[in-house]
Amino acid sequence: MVWTIVIVGLILLFIVIAITKVKINCQYRHNQDDDLLEVIVTIWKIKVYTFSAPIIKIDSDSATILVEEEQEIAGVQSKKKLPITPELILGKLRWLRDFIDHVIGLHKIVRRFLKKVSVNKFTWHTDIGVGDAAYTAQLAGAVWTLKGSIIGMIGNTMRIKLMPKLSITPQFQAVVSHTYFSCIFSFRIGHAIVAGLMLLRHWKRRPKFERPSSSVQKNM
């Protein structure tokens, strides 16, 4: 009798965890030279992870982006400076390309999981101007094209619940660079578990894949 209650309890607990939604709120603000990137992960309206990069500095001499980031996991805070160089970005992109090539069917697993992801909010407002009316108009058109392409890609891979709010305000007589981006999306833990198990199965079928060595990363 006791074991029956324990088993039933475990089954109910697994069901609750599987149907639990994870909500991720991403926000980015850019105002001339000021930037702020925030990511908040909540489960049952409880913040389980927060990430904030309030300062992004560019060192023109070394072509390095310095990001001061703050993280909080289960109430534990940490701060660090992260240098991002072109070599580091290229190295990560090469590793990601090799990873995708290594795992056959990875794109199918990702697309199947993304179909279960709901986009609950998507807002992207931009004020832009380069001081010249003609160039500003061309740039505004290019940004509209970029935003439309991104929305199309998201609509083809995820479920958009509400109509995205997009705007571009060209400033023809001034040099302006303002951007506000906000996106809230959610998925169930059960769908993430299934995707992880499928990825693990594909991973085991392939030869051993090695991450870039620490020495290579240091050289980057």
Calpha distance 192→205 (Å, rounded): 20
pLDDT at 5 (0 to 100): 85
Model pLDDT for residues 150-191, shown as the tens digit of each residue: 999 999 999 999 999 999 999 888 888 899 999 999 999 999
Number of domains in the chain: 1
The alpha carbons of the chain give a radius of gyration, in whole angstroms, of 22
Domain span holding position 32: 21-84
Q: Is residue 27 part of a domain?
A: yes
Q: Is residue 25 part of a domain?
A: yes
Q: Is residue 220 part of a domain?
A: no
Q: Is residue 72 part of a domain?
A: yes
Q: Is residue 48 part of a domain?
A: yes
Q: Which amino acid is at 134?
A: A
Higher pLDDT, 187 or 6: 187
Calpha distance 87→65 (Å, rounded): 12
Q: What is the pTM of this model?
A: 0.72
Q: Is residue 217 part of a domain?
A: no
Instruction: Answer for the pair 111, 159: CB distance below 8 angstroms, yes or no.
Output: no
Q: Is residue 92 part of a domain?
A: no
Per the DSSP assignment, residues forming a β-bridge with 169 are 127
